[in-house]
Structure 1
Amino acid sequence: MRSFAEILDIAARRHGGPEAALAGIPVPLSAAELGATGDDRWLSAMARSIFQAGISWQVVETKWPEIEAAFGGFDPGRLSMMSDAAFDDLLRDPRVIRSAPKIAAIRDNAAFIREVSAASGSFGRRIADWPAGDFIGLLDWLKTEGARLGGGTGAHVLRRMGRDGFVLGRDVVARLIEEGVIDKPPASRRAMLPVQAAFDRWAAESGLPFTTISRVLARSIG
């Protein structure tokens, strides 16, 4: 397994130097900033990632202002109590991507967020308090306790919201395979353990957040 400095050098050669290899990578939010993010924004991010799964992301991005309006700004309290009539209205609403399973997942995640927020002060506070050394546990928690937040969806929600972490896209997986960390895309918590260990090692070596390491791994391939 190469050091992070060696992988950064590969990315730099592919993209025109170290500055280019690191360009445009967002800085994760602080714990205080995550904790202060409204529960409605977490539900909105979940909804956006759920709607984007399996279809063109650009379609969702184009429709997003209308989707926000149709869901009334994604207030978890109101949506967790969605009536059958309100559900049916959304299924008929032309502003919305009319998938009953995805709309049901948004309703279920509203209840999930509401419950976690009541226990932790805010949903973002619970996310912020989750230890970096167990990022795979955070992903597993979202998958288990949330609705349709497995696969890459939960990781994309966290990245969208500024929580430090990694997303196992095609190029990141390819680099992890090249480094001998895994031999195929990980599909279980056990298979994710060496991924967590590799990111922990690279973070200790470099002092950089997982978000930056993840993006550099991707740029070392693509």
Structure 2
Amino acid sequence: MRALTAIVRMVERSNESRSGSDETAARVRRYVAEHDAPRDDRDAFARLCCVIFAAGLGFGPVARCREALEAAFCGFEPSRVAELDEARATAMLAMPIIRNRAKIDACIDNGRRWHALTTGGGSYLARVAAAAADDDPSEGWPRLSAMLRADFSRLGAMTARLTLKRWGFFMAGSHPGARRLLTRLHCVDAAAPDAHVQRLIASLAQKAGRDPYSVEASLADFAADGPCRKEPHCERCALLERCPTGLAQEPQKAPETNARRPSESLQTAQSACGLPR
């Protein structure tokens, strides 16, 4: 774990070198804030709608039109969204939002569902808290995920887990970029469940006295804008000497006389991640 902590520090230094310390810190703060526990039902419903709009696009386009979405959907107040009709849904297609009729209809339908589930003065977040008490975070909150899929439309397994993640349930799902980086370092298996990836990041954060979302944010930033993208640039990666995947792709730049062989790097990575060699 100590070696993996050192790798995270290298990742953070690389992020700062690429984007500047202020911008890097701001990105981490935004990521943590986006995953804080929602303040109330309106905040939670807003995040649910943003997950629906982000499907297939990512959260960047959603963030850029966030204010317009909030205005279009009546401040994301579920009871008001529940009252939106066909004419309003059609009018939204001319607004400066993500103009996807199926997603617009899903959010309106979910406003009605949310309102129906809380009629009588209840809170949907109270329903979530009650269900969470009987769920298993170490397995990724499977009962909560199933409850969301049953309660709302246009929520599959992945989007339900992502919604929970955006409601502060860290174990609900892994960030694809952070997972990709840890997989290439051979710290997790490509087929490992999300909960396994999250347990590793949570353990690392606890060891460093950090918020797990902040550690995940650093890994995700490195994977998104740094050398560990989907199409990696291993030759420019600060982790090359510690990465079995990078060494395997760049054998001519890692001769045995000056650098560890891929097999040796794999053993080091496995040891750092607490895996058997």
Aligning the two structures, in what range does the TM-score lie when normalised by the shorter sequence?
0.5 to 0.7
Written as runs of structure 1 = structure 2, the 5 A alignment for 1:45-194 is 45-55=47-57, 59-91=61-93, 93-114=94-115, 117=118, 121-125=122-126, 130=132, 133-134=137-138, 136-137=140-141, 140-141=145-146, 144-145=149-150, 146-150=152-156, 151=158, 155=162, 158-159=165-166, 163=168, 165=170, 168-177=174-183, 178-183=185-190, 191-194=193-196
Structure 1 pair 171–117 and aligned structure 2 pair: CA distance change class (3 A): same
Tell me the distance in 2 between the aligned counterparts of 1:193 and 1:204: 16
The 8 Å contact of residues 174 and 197 in structure 2, kept in 1 or not, is answered as no
The 8 Å contact of residues 67 and 96 in structure 1, kept in 2 or not, is answered as yes
TM-score (norm 1): 0.66
Letter in 2 for 1:144: R
Farther off after superposition, 202-211 or 49-58: 49-58
Tell me the distance in 2 between the aligned counterparts of 1:128 and 1:203: 24
Displacement, 1:60?
4.2
1:26 counterpart (24, 29, 36): 29
The 8 Å contact of residues 45 and 76 in structure 2, kept in 1 or not, is answered as yes
Displacement, 1:122?
3.0
- The residue aligned with 1:10 is 10
Higher relative contact order structure (alpha carbons within 8 Å, sequence separation ≥ 6): 1
RMSD, aligned α-carbons: 4.2
Letter in 2 for 1:165: F
Question: Is there any run of 5+ residues in structure 1 with no aligned partner, and where?
Answer: none
Displacement, 1:102?
0.2
Displacement, 1:214?
0.7
Tell me the distance in 1 between the aligned counterparts of 2:59 and 2:149: 24
Tell me the distance in 2 between the aligned counterparts of 1:220 and 1:97: 28
The 8 Å contact of residues 78 and 114 in structure 2, kept in 1 or not, is answered as yes
Structure 1 pair 194–66 and aligned structure 2 pair: CA distance change class (3 A): closer
- The residue aligned with 2:230 is none
Question: Is there any run of 5+ residues in structure 2 with no aligned partner, and where?
Answer: 227-277
Displacement, 1:170?
4.1
- Tell which structure's C-alpha radius of gyration is larger: 2
Letter in 2 for 1:172: A
Q: How many residues get paired?
A: 209
TM-score (norm 2): 0.56
Letter in 2 for 1:26: R
Structure 1 pair 14–152 and aligned structure 2 pair: CA distance change class (3 A): farther
Structure 1 pair 173–20 and aligned structure 2 pair: CA distance change class (3 A): same
Tell me the distance in 1 between the aligned counterparts of 2:5 and 2:202: 14
